Amino acid sequence: MKKYMLPVVFCALALSSSAQTTQHQETTSNAKLDRTLRAVQRQQEAYGLSHRATRAGGALTTADSLAAPTINYNGTRQSILAPLSLIITTQPNASTDVAEMLQQAGQHATRISATTVTARVAPEWLARLVEDQRVVQLTASKRLRPFLAKARAATGVDRVHQKDNLYTPFTGKGVIVGVIDQSFEFKHMGFMGEDGKSRAKMIWDRSKDYEKDLQSTAAPILDVDASKQTHDTYDTGSGHGTHVTNIAVGSKHGNNPYYGVAPNADIIMIPSAFAQDEIIEDVQKIKEYAEKQQQPWVVNMSLGSVIGPHDGSTDYDQAMDKMARGKGGIITAAMGNEGDQLLHASSAFQPGETKHLFVDYFKDQDGTEDDLTYIDFWGIDTNATEQFTITPILALTQNGNDDEDAEPQITKRNANFWKKYLDEGQILTGIDPNNKREYHYVAVKINKLLADIGKKYDDVIFGLEITAKKTNTTPATLHGWIYADAPNSAEFTELATNSTLESIKPDNLYIVGEGAASIPSAIAVGSFTTHVPKGAKSDEKEGTRSTFSSNGPWLNANYTKPAVLAPGSYIMSALNQYAPDFDQDEASYSSKWNNKTYRYGYQEGTSMATPFVAGSIALWLEANPQLSYTDVLDIIKATSTKHEDMAGKEWTPTYGYGLINVYEGLKLALKKAGKDPLTAIERVSGSAAPATFHTTATQWQVLFNNPERFATIEVTSLDGRNLYRQQLSSIAQGDEVNIDTDRFTPGVYVLQVSTSGAKIAQKMVRQ
């Protein structure tokens, strides 16, 4: 496969052509529309001029869509006359009226909050909504992508639970865990109770590709046992959702070791098309169900995008953020798996300074000429001022050049040339109405560019020439991110050329996943490695951050992303045997239950780390159902295990606050629920069992789940001899007693805690 490097400086292809601007100033367009909808509006107007005369009444309808040109609708190629998926921001308390207006007209609309409506409308509604005084902003719903796991056919076991043993009555009982994902096996043994009935309280299959429909016909399934549906309607074939859900909430059956962190939590599974408007509706549905049942809830989201402002300011992020701000409702989100890729670049510019940024591009043999590479630039100043100009360039090496040290030659072409290769024929430039930051959006058809000129040159490198305006009064900083349509791939690269201008050096920082981790109140989760199978070819090191785990920081300094790392490499969990590409031979473990065989296998990614945190938070919510996002972040901040790579810092962009510690977090969750004065009758946590047991290499730890007047801790041998006894009084919820195990010889013992209202005993092993 030939390798092509493309700089982020849009170069002209013809050496003899003069360079002209290819930037389009969007600030003169309708202020209510985001950049995608402005492009749709321009295309509709242009198409309408040539076709309206043939239409009765002059109106274009969806019937014209097959003949109409297509547009890149936030990552999905669709007709400019196809239904539009929207996030509508309204005037305060106007959302109900707007939603009802659309519903009565036969459009799909859902009221989310006092100022937010999600909708799917016919194309002619775009102009109508622009003119509606109740509408403040119209945002095109972005199609996100799953942070796909990397399957591992390896030997060895990476337990879903941490290496230390945790014996606790907290199992997630009474907590809703919702998973928005793809490729579920709804009735896998991991989601069934011991009674043979499903633990899923709802399945809402949104996986159908409904681009041509105004209404989604899927209805939530509330009686899962009666349903004959076994898996997603439109299955991507990855088994991703099944694997993820089992990590968080998989049932414990017999001797099967691959159960979840919260094996008794209630489950909601939502196979998703990953459209932002749909995801907002999904979270709202989970929240409404949990509140109706008076249960706390956690939503797991292992999806996202690289493209976006990276500050949580989008209408989507803000709508999601509002739903996760109350007590007893938490969103966990994967950071992404791009930590080993150079998808980010940034630089400070003096007034009038010019620099180059280049793209390292890999064309897949199955790639098409219409495939796009997206480069999204954002300034950091929030003063609604444009401070940069950006022009496409090329760095070319002539065929037959035998000089191995020859530097690529920078070449510029005019705007007419670039109209063939830039989506919309131009770079889109403007000021974002939400954050008042400058943006430059580039979508380029690199495969088409290579097809046209690739044979003329040994190397074709695509790039951008970035210039800070001379009128700037202070230095200005610009950040950029890059992403290529699958199956191709692209990164930024530093490149020496014949130019004297600086080539910006890329990095792997600031890659907080857009669409999930970018929600301000979402707990952003990265991955660390707990196990590398013997003999496996891997760069991973046990106990350290996984190399693929995406890094922070975030452009919004008010939030720390990532928050925490959890086990995400070489994770064994449930597989979906109904997935189209399921291969039984790739399953590493099989378990027979109720006369049926179920499969398990290895995958890795922050998608695996995130449900570990979701399950952990479910345990904490069982102990304290009133925890808020702020409470959970405080728990993570206070209890996570600091890694030596953090060099004594409280937070770093690679480790967050450290490695999750479920036990210490549970202890603090219990303390946060404590009341004073404490009585033996008060069961603030709701647990009937008086204590949680935790073992380390040197200690047995007893954590009190409830406030108690009196308690007795005893350790006895298997033949009944009492070897340790301690009496306590006035015990607060979350208090802990540590018993050094070096006082006992190796063997098996019984650890027992007795209170005035309950008793619990557990066999413990002294190694």
Q: Are 465 and 390 in contact, with CB atoms under 8 Å apart?
A: yes
Q: How are beta strands 354-362 and 502-503 bridged, if at all?
A: parallel
Q: Which of 467, 449, 352 is nearest to 394 (CA)?
A: 449
Distances (CA, A) of 386 to 30, 429, 430, 472, 475: 18, 9, 7, 9, 13
pTM of the model: 0.85
pLDDT at 160 over 70: no
Provide the pLDDT for residue 214.
55
Give the tens place of pLDDT for each residue, 583-632: 887 788 999 999 999 999 988 899 999 999 999 999 999 999 999 999 99
Q: What's the CATH code, domain 675-766?
A: 2.60.40.3080
Distances (CA, A) of 572 to 569, 585, 605: 9, 15, 12
Looking at every residue in the chain, the average pLDDT score rounds to 86
Provide the pLDDT for residue 3.
38
Q: Which of 159, 164, 174, 330 is nearest to 247 (CA)?
A: 159
The residues, ordered by sequence, that sit 6+ positions from 507 with a Cβ below 8 Å of its Cβ are 342, 344, 345, 346
Q: Are 490 and 341 in contact, with CB atoms under 8 Å apart?
A: no
Residue 707: asked if its preceding bond is cis (omega within 30°), the reply is no
For residue 574, give the H/E element and its range: strand 571-574
Distances (CA, A) of 3 to 359, 421, 482, 488, 726: 11, 19, 17, 11, 70
Q: Are 221 and 202 in contact, with CB atoms under 8 Å apart?
A: yes
Domain-wise residue ranges, the chain: 3-19+341-503, 26-143, 166-338+514-537+550-636, 675-766
pLDDT at 15 over 90: no
What is the rounded average pLDDT of the residues 204-209?
A: 81
Residue 24's pLDDT band (cuts 50, 70, 90): low
Q: How far apart are CA 608 and CA 660, in angstroms?
A: 14
Exposure b/e, 483-509, CB count within 10 A at least 16 = b: bbbeebbbbbbbbebebeeebbebebb
Q: How far apart are CA 552 and CA 600, in angstroms?
A: 32
Question: Is domain 26-143 classified as CATH 1.10.260?
Answer: no
Fill in the amino acid letter for 650: E
Kindly report the CATH class assigned to 166-338+514-537+550-636.
Answer: alpha beta
Give the tens place of pLDDT for each residue, 409-435: 999 999 999 999 999 889 999 999 999
Q: How are beta strands 476-484 and 344-349 bridged, if at all?
A: antiparallel
Q: How far apart are CA 69 and CA 42, in angstroms?
A: 12
Tell me 646's DSSP state.
G
Provide the pLDDT for residue 161.
34
Give the tens place of pLDDT for each residue, 189-198: 999 999 999 9
Residue 50's pLDDT band (cuts 50, 70, 90): low
Q: How are beta strands 108-113 and 176-181 bridged, if at all?
A: unpaired
Give the tens place of pLDDT for each residue, 540-578: 888 999 999 999 999 999 999 999 999 999 898 999 999
